[in-house]
Structure 1
């Protein structure tokens, strides 16, 4: 049995059961019996059936609903205490810069914001695959500080002071440490790490002066674990995750400058073309549109924080606290060290300064 046509008008050739995964089940639960509104439906229904408060089903369901509500409120309070109030977001006054936006996730975000009327600048060595209204392309090797300085001045002069920066540029070579050459290692850290420093240094002062801004750092679930053939990529993503942590501390004094860390699992973009997740149920491959939607909702809401998905991306850090023998068992059972064997990646000509 196949899945019904997708909203875009196309039909997937995947069996419908392949669309079932643990994240979908958790999402359904979070919006029903694990949500305060859903939890309170049961005691209200029982009360309407003339159950008395001393009856175990009624007081038990009330206790459950109260615990769910308390947990939900504590999560809301924790976010507010940790990241403060959200900043105002007015699309008519926002200017977006996205690195590595010529294709994949970066292009998708640029397209949507461009169609919504924001002024968008794409910084990439490759020209975007399509032209979109309000999206301006600036050819730039974001790993080269001199090029970033030159292009940043053009962006400010032509579009205005950027208020949203999405550091999305990334490359992945999919080779062992011994097979990686010096040029490939440098390109990984230039694109994945140093580009973040260069763009922040160029655009953050303007955000501070404007008293508003959002900086999005695209890291990865692999920043917590280094599988075979991912040494350079995992190390670079761990570096930008800690860069985000330091940046967040440094801008905490500015009320309306927000930082957002995104740590996704595998996304179905050309970056990791050919890699198949060992378990689609526990580690589903993410669609770019779903990742883009979560990022844009956070930006539009003016909030700071961390986005980690699928579900395993939120818990993978726990592995570091487990005994080494259990860590090795989990690596073996997950198949993470064998997943890169089928890696193809982008076309070699596009694998120098790429994008997610």
Structure 2
């Protein structure tokens, strides 16, 4: 065997241990938080649910301008007025992220009327809450178009300018269901798994791009209208997250340039267990913990 290859093979584990220890130590140290006073933040699905709380939190943390995208003007207008009353410049535009042409058209309007978006928050999502055989074909397509493909269009619309400026951040509000699916929301779980792969690939692809970062948020069941009707077997053990908490932690993750954020932190254990436990054991845990095993029909959108 070539000595150079042998040396690389021997050095690789040592290098990995070094970076693991380094990352662990750095995670324990207080992080310097980025100033948001010059940031122009665009939030898809910004009129309601987590999107509304995100808008409020970005405003609270000093963002320069906020832009809200969504499909329901009433909600967008209400949220925009609330943000404006706080003293933060806020604009809203009707835009269905599933429509590629509409996204590109509205992105151009945003640049002309408001300025260059420096923080893109892909929050818009839909869920129909049905099994595969109960799901309408058009509804299944809608989930994939909004939850996954919409991210392609918005990111393609705004990322190039971020790269030119060497300044920007792409955020995805994902879900722990992307890594721990449930049977009653097959459209949502599938689209969120695709969305996670998109963000993982994008995050790695931007490692050599100075000034541009990514954050993927993977929360447990959040108490919003989108999942109204969903019930957890043991709500005392597995309480739903508050949307305000998700928003606060998300903005903090942007400010600290955190790549992946699991909410609550115990979701790390779930992902770790799935990596080595037998399928039969995982099925038993799923049946016991319930995480969504008792469900009414639910559907929603943001």
Q: TM-score, normalised by structure 1?
A: 0.71
Aligned to 2:267: 313
Residue 135 (structure 1) aligned with residue 90 (structure 2):
yes
User: How far is the alpha carbon of 1:73 from its aligned partner?
Assistant: 7.2
Query: How far does residue 165 in structure 1 lie from its aligned partner after superposition?
Result: 0.6
CA deviation string 1:86-116 (max 9, x = no partner): 7x84433210011111101111111333453
Structure 1 segment 148-163 matched on structure 2, within 5 A = 148-163=103-118
Tell me if the contact between 1:124 and 1:138 (Cα under 8 Å) persists in the aligned partners.
yes
Q: Given that residues 169 and 213 in structure 2 are in contact (C-alpha distance below 8 angstroms), is that contact kept between their aligned partners in structure 1?
A: yes
Cα drift, residue 227 of structure 1: 1.2
Q: For 1:304 and 1:112, how far apart are their aligned partners in 2?
A: 17
Please give the TM-score of this superposition, normalised by the length of structure 2. 0.83
- Are residue 335 (structure 1) and residue 290 (structure 2) matched? yes
Which residue of structure 2 lines up, in the alignment, with residue 122 of structure 1? 68
- In structure 1, what is the Cα distance between the partners aligned to 2:184 and 2:201? 28
Give the distance between the partners of 2:248 and 2:290, measured in 1 at CA.
Answer: 29
Please name the residue that 1:96 is paired with: 41
| Change in CA separation of 1:282 and 1:299 when aligned onto 2, cut-off 3 Å | same
Residue in 1 that maps onto 2:3: none
For residues 309 and 112 of structure 1, what CA distance do their matches in structure 2 show? Answer: 17
Structure 1 unmatched runs, 5+: 1-70, 347-353
2:121–2:171 Cα contact (<8 Å) kept: yes
1:184 and 2:133 matched: no
Cα root mean square deviation, aligned: 2.2
Q: Secondary structure at the match of 1:229?
A: helix
DSSP 3-state at the match of 1:166: strand
Shift of 1:337: 5.5
1:279 Cα offset (Å): 2.3
* Cα shift at 1:273: 0.5
Do the aligned residues in 2 keep the contact of 1:102 with 1:126 (CA within 8 Å)?
yes
**Distance (whole Å) between structure 2 residues aligned to residue 222 and residue 293 of structure 1:** 21
